[in-house]
Amino acid sequence: MKPCMHNQHRPTTISRREFLKAMGVATAGLTLAGCQFKVPEIGGASDQKPAVAIAKADSYERKLIRRQVERLLDKIGGLKDVLAHGNRVAIKTNLTGGIKQKPLPGIPEIESYLTHPEVVRALGELLRDAGVKDLFIVEAVYEKESWTQYGYEDMAKSIGATLVDLNYEEPYKDFITPSPGDKPFFYDKFIFNPILSEVDAFVSVSKMKCHNTAGVTHTMKNLFGLVPYRFYTMNPEDTYRSGFHGEGEAAKERVPGIIIDLNRTRPIHLSLIDGVMTTEAGEGPWVKAMAQIKPGLMFAGKNPVATDAVATAAMGYDPTADFPNEPFVHAVNHLNLAAQAGLGTNRLEEIKVVGEPLEEVTVRFKTSY
């Protein structure tokens, strides 16, 4: 398939030999065609309610964010079970859209629709304190300049993290093609950078947002950015994963189903949601109705379905609602699909909400129509 990315720069943050040495992988290369990741269940016994923590933060002041992220992790039992199987961790952030998108006037992208680097910094520092040896920040960025423009390059250096552009196989020799397992919705395998199989724990750090198709986008929808988009377009000139959406009404079923396929393929061990400053009525400036909103909140949990459900409820929505009810006005509710697939619960009565009371922090978001 012909690559259609509008910028083909390769990441240069670390050499292939240095990277593979750090990962303990032989330089001969790695191939995992058609495999499925083996990820143990973490976060408590299956008969216990999953815990989701809520904390307040009215700014991205460094000490405040660090303190509140630490409180979130303490409330959900710390990091011991997350790191029980090793000390190599990947953090998936959300840098959607690329630097060619025009931000809201006078409002930085990281204070509207992109994950703020201070949230990732705080988590990275706490992971280091917990004994993490190899730390990676991963995203299929639209341009390598995104790392610098949005503050990730300097932040990564400060915590000793390696930036990995998932658009490319480097520093490995080739991509891998892991599977979501039996009975996928749409994809029986995905094209991944091998780093996603090499880490011991995988963290999704997302923005709390409405989404024009998916209704809401939190830690589960964040996994759309795991795949190189040039392999998932319908037309060579497309500059986004148009194949994930399909044509016409197809997105109603495709987007939610593919969210589940991705989450089954690369399960999330820890979810952290940045809702300090974000957007409503859309997920990015390509949605004209999008506007900034300042809920002043963050969320954390070890089950992504439950975590996303609590964040959805904090936006004033019923996380069990379904098409065509708000916010799921254009597609079926992927949280319902996730619950049906056994990935977790989106029913608030089955979730232990800790920290700030949900009813006291709820802020009604405008739906993306």
Residues 64 and 122: their CA atoms lie apart, in Å, by 10
Quickly list H helices, 2-116. 16-23, 62-75
CB-CB contact of 178 with 197 (8 Å): yes
3-class state of residue 308 by DSSP: helix
Sign of CA dihedral 79, 80, 83, 86: positive
**DSSP state at residue 323:** T
With beta carbons less than 8 A apart as the criterion, state whether 23 and 198 touch: yes
Q: What is the pLDDT of residue 278?
A: 98
Q: Three-class SS of residue 305?
A: helix
Count of residues making up the chain: 369
What span, in angstroms and rounded, lies between the C-alpha atoms of 287 and 339?
A: 29
Residues 6+ apart with CB under 8 A from 59: 276
Could you tell me whether strands 134-139 and 291-293 are parallel, antiparallel, or unpaired per DSSP bridges? Answer: unpaired
Residue 314 tokens read as 């904090």
pLDDT at position 26: 40
Tokens representing 77?
A: 């039992």
The tokens of 31 are what? 């191939």
Print the SS3 string covering 119-134: HHHHHHHHHHHCCCCE
With beta carbons less than 8 A apart as the criterion, state whether 271 and 72 touch: no
pLDDT at 21: 55
Q: What is the pLDDT of residue 19?
A: 52
What is the CATH number that goes with domain 16-361?
3.40.50.11440
Check if the beta carbon of residue 326 is closer than 8 Å to that of residue 216: no
- Please count the other Cβ atoms lying within 10 Å of the Cβ belonging to residue 118: 23
How much helix, strand and coil, in percent to the nearest 5, is found in the chain?
30, 15, 55
Over the chain (369 residues), the average pLDDT of each successive run of 10 is 36 51 46 53 63 98 98 98 96 95 96 98 98 98 96 98 96 96 97 98 98 98 96 91 92 97 98 98 96 98 98 98 98 98 98 98 98
Q: Which DSSP symbol is given to 234?
A: S
Residue 63 makes CB contacts below 8 A (sequence gap 6+) with: none
> What are the domain boundaries of the chain?
16-361
**So what's the pLDDT on residue 7?**
37
